[in-house]
Every structure is written in C-alpha cells, then in structure tokens.
C-alpha cells in the first residue's frame, strides 16, 4: 500500500511539473517492495512516461532554446516514444541539421559539428546527420578516416614491390622419397 501511495505521489509531482522530484519519490515507493520485480516492471513504465511528459511540458514553456533542448533530451531519456515528443524532436533535429549544413558550407567546422551532434541527440536515427557530423569532425581535427584515404596510393605500392620468392623446404628437397 505504501508503495502505491508513493507511486501516486510521484505521478502527481509529474503532473504538477516538479520533474526532478518524481524519480526520487518513485524510488522511495520501490524501496517498500525491493524484491518484487513484477511490481516494478508493471508500474515503472507509467512513471517513466509521466516523467517524460513532465519534461516535455516544461520544454514547451522554456525561456530559451538551450533550456528547451535540455528538457527535450531529458524527456527522451525517460521515454522516447511519446508522440508529441517524437514530432518536436524530429522537427528540431531537421532545423539543426540545416544549420549544420550552412556552417559546413561556411567552413565553420566546430559549429557544424555541434549542430549535427545536436540533431543526432534529438533524433538518433538520422544517418545523414551522423555522416555529416563525422565529416565536420574530420575537417575540424584535420584528419582523414581510413575509409576515405585514396586506394590508388596503396595499389601502386603493391605493384612496385618485387614478387616474393617461393620458400622451399630444404629437408623435403634432400630427403629421398619412400618409393625409391
């Protein structure tokens, strides 16, 4: 009963916008029945969903973009399947990807990498953003990934080497065959 009361308190805190207090309250409830894994598996998803909703609602009234991003990322941590959250993070991820492309064209590698990375945090399924982030990182660090190095230089080195001599086994050359 005490565990259910703490769970209800945690859900109320989430609905009131006290996001940071939700998980500690839930853990208090869990402490009443530590060994009942079925109870935890049954009730935890609802608490996580409410907690994600709490952070999502907070993101909608954020004072600046940074606060909104922090709240959205926190919401994704708790439940990345909320439909409203998915819509907003996909939308923002696209915006950050476009910003990154602009910075990339301006050869501002650091800002391009940061924009692409933010797009990936918001929507990890964006494979093109991931590739663009890698390209911006490479430019920023002035490195070339092994997969991007020219293959022509390695093939010309192979053809200029002399062919290896065949090894002969001296023992087998001197040993008489058993048929003699």
- pLDDT per residue, tens digit, the chain (180 aa), is 899 999 999 999 999 999 999 999 999 988 888 788 898 899 999 999 999 999 999 999 999 999 999 999 999 999 999 999 999 999 999 999 999 999 999 999 999 999 999 999 999 999 999 999 999 999 999 998 888 787 645 544 554 455 455 555 555 444 444 444
> Left if phi > 0, otherwise alpha if psi is -120 to 50, otherwise beta: which for 94?
alpha
Q: What is the DSSP letter of 124?
A: T
pTM greater than 0.95 (yes/no)? no
95: exposed, middle or buried (C-beta count within 10 Å: 0-12, 13-18, 19+)? middle
Residue in 76, 38, 30 with CA at minimum distance from that of residue 54? 76
């Amino acid at each position: 009963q005490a565990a259910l009361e703490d769970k209800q308190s945690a859900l109320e805190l989430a609905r009131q916008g006290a996001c940071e207090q939700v998980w500690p309250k839930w853990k208090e409830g869990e402490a009443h029945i530590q060994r009942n894994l079925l109870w935890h598996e049954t009730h935890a998803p609802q608490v996580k969903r409410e907690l994600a909703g709490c952070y999502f609602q907070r993101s909608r009234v954020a004072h600046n973009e940074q606060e909104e991003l922090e709240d959205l990322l926190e919401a994704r941590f708790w439940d990345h399947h909320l439909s409203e959250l998915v819509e907003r993070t996909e939308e923002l991820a696209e915006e950050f990807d476009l910003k990154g492309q602009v910075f990339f064209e301006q050869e501002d590698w650091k800002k391009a990498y940061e924009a692409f990375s933010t797009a990936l945090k918001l929507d990890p399924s964006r494979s093109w953003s991931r590739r663009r982030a890698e390209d911006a990182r490479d430019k920023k660090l002035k490195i070339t990934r092994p997969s991007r190095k020219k293959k022509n230089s390695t093939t010309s080195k192979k053809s200029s080497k002399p062919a290896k001599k065949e090894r002969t086994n001296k023992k087998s050359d001197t040993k008489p065959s058993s048929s003699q």
